[in-house]
Amino acid sequence: MAAPAPQRVGLLGGSFDPPHLGHLWMAREARRHWQLDAVWLLPAFQPPHKAVVAPYADRAAMARLLAAAEPWLEVDESEAARGGASYTLDTVRALKARHGPALQFALILGADSLAELASWHEPEQLCAEIELLVLAREGAAPAASRWPHRLAASGLHPAQSRLIRACLAAGRPTPWLPPNVAAYIAQAGLYRRRGAGDTHGEEAG
């Protein structure tokens, strides 16, 4: 009897500070475009190029609340278990070693992240380890890239973690958070103060 075909799993990494409807949109769009069996959210334990505001435990808990919207969406906490700086290459290699041929992984990126891939940790090795699935805004041709990838045009969701944190710090409502994530933030008292700046780089979001 032939072995069953491996499941296709998309990996969507980020700081998830906080997770929002834009992340959920990316997961849904990637699953639709590339017929993925599942999408795993990978909250970064210690993003290499970004200062996070909320502790990892809160960001992971909020990611699980976001994932509750879809049965095919899960949260993998490999980066917390490993500790230290969260490099996507290390995470991909660990997941492939753990799951073997039963799962076939692909990395989900926005076109902006693809443009910054040269700043990531060992990008050549990352591209050799995993397929890149890139979502680009409809009508906007992304810049030419040296990195092999599959491209799909899609809509553009306006949610940005930086803007959400600014709204929350100012006490203004934002439509970009699922109700369960917004309730968690309110109960935990997250993002109440200003000063939550972002820098561009690996694991944006």
194 within some domain = no
6 confidence band (pLDDT: 50, 70, 90): confident
pLDDT on residue 204: 42
Helix 56-67 / helix 179-188 crossing angle, nearest 10 deg: 160
Please indicate, yes or no, if residue 204 is contained in any of the structural domains: no
> Which pLDDT score is estimated for 74?
98
Asked if residue 19 is part of any domain, the answer here is: yes
Whole-number average pLDDT of the chain: 89
9: nearest Cα among 121, 78, 101 = 101
Give the 3-state secondary structure of residue 162: helix
Identify the CATH number of the domain in which residue 148 sits. 3.40.50.620
pLDDT of residue 3: 64
| Residue-level pLDDT at 140 | 58
For residue range 14-69, list pLDDT tens digits in order: 999 999 999 999 999 999 999 999 999 999 999 887 789 999 999 999 999 999 99
Does the residue 77 lie in any domain? yes
Is 56 among the domain residues?
Answer: yes
Domain that holds residue 105: 7-188
Interatomic CA distance for residues 80 and 56, integer angstroms: 8
pTM: 0.89
Structurally, the chain folds into a number of domains equal to: 1
Asked, for residue 135, whether it belongs to a domain, the answer is: yes
In a domain, 1, yes or no: no
- What is the pLDDT at residue 199? 34
Assign 124 a pLDDT band (cuts: 50, 70, 90).
very high
Please spell the DSSP secondary structure of 141-153, one letter per residue: PPPP-SS--EEEE
* 193 belongs to a structural domain: no
